Amino acid sequence: MAVYLRIKRLPYEEPDNTHLFISASNGEFAGTLDIYCSVGDIRKIGEGLRGFPATVGAEFRYENGSEAPEDRYQRYFLFRAFTVNRTGHCALQVIMNRNETGADDAYCRFSLPVEAAALERLGALFRKFGELEHFELDWSPTEGGLR
């Protein structure tokens, strides 16, 4: 299985809000989830990855929804970039939770090592994707593009 992040944008109340269908894998585990978010959130992710990591121990988090049942969110999505050691090696963590129970339960959590340059490329893709001129973002640690 390949390592990837794929995001499809399904226009919804744009230019303010949008609907994203997210698919991701670390090569061993994979998950898919759809979320609604502000278009500004897409740009926020791009800016958060610009020049990452700026310092040892740096972390960038984007969260959409909540896993706490009392918050009553339909979905929870976490996209986290962080450093794994003092030499600046980085990783991405993805958590996807449908916040369902029983037969509809679906939860995915994994991390993958990634170089800082690959995070910079991903940030640039998110910044361009936030301009709403493309409908798909495809990224892997070695390549990426928009369609």
Q: What is the pLDDT of residue 60?
A: 98
Cβ 12 vs Cβ 19: under 8 Å? yes
Q: What per-residue confidence (pLDDT) applies to 88?
A: 85
0.85 exceeded by pTM: yes
Q: Please check whether residue 29 is in contact with residue 38, taking contact to mean a CB–CB distance below 8 angstroms.
A: no
pLDDT tens sequence across 55-81: 989 999 999 999 999 999 999 999 999
Q: What is the pLDDT of residues 42-54, one digit of tens each?
A: 999 999 999 999 9
Q: Which residues contact 54 (CB under 8 A, 6 or more apart)?
A: none
Phi–psi pair at 118, nearest 5 degrees: -70, -35
pLDDT in tens, 75-134: 999 999 999 998 889 999 999 999 999 999 999 999 999 999 999 999 999 999 999 999
User: pLDDT-derived band of residue 1, with 50, 70 and 90 as boundaries?
Assistant: confident
Sheet containing strand 143-146, edge to edge, reads: 30-38, 17-26, 3-11, 136-140, 143-146
Mean pLDDT of 15-44: 97
Residue 38 has pLDDT above 90, yes or no: yes
Please state whether beta strands 143-146 and 17-26 pair in parallel, antiparallel, or not at all (unpaired). unpaired
* Helix axes of 39-49 and 116-129: crossing angle, nearest 10 degrees: 160
Residue 141 DSSP one-character state: T
